Amino acid sequence: MNSIFGKCPVCGEELIVTRLECRSCGTDIGGQFTIGRLARLDSEQMQFVETFIRNRGNAYKVGEELEMPY
């Protein structure tokens, strides 16, 4: 399954979700839904957030993992 991205690849504006579907039972919900702030991050920003969370916000460990000075 593809990851969702939050910005339009053509103009850069925020995208909205218009359909949700349950893979298990097939329930289909339509409307306009926001995708949330994390989905708006680019891949480099998301990688940093994942590293930050994995290291429980410890800046020293984040720096070590990213091979950047504290």
pTM summary value: 0.55
Rounded-to-integer distance, Cα 9 and Cα 22, Å:
26
Instruction: Determine contact, residues 20/49, Cβ cutoff 8 Å.
Output: no
| Residue 28 lies inside a defined structural domain of this protein | yes
| Residue 6 lies inside a defined structural domain of this protein | no
pLDDT for 1 beyond 70 = no
Give the residue numbers spanning the domain of 31.
Answer: 17-65
| Residue 3 lies inside a defined structural domain of this protein | no
| pLDDT for res 5 | 73
Rounded-to-integer distance, Cα 37 and Cα 5, Å:
11
| Residue 12 lies inside a defined structural domain of this protein | no
Res. 22 pLDDT band, cuts 50 70 90: very high
| Residue 44 lies inside a defined structural domain of this protein | yes
Q: How many domains does the chain have?
A: 1
| Residue 1 lies inside a defined structural domain of this protein | no
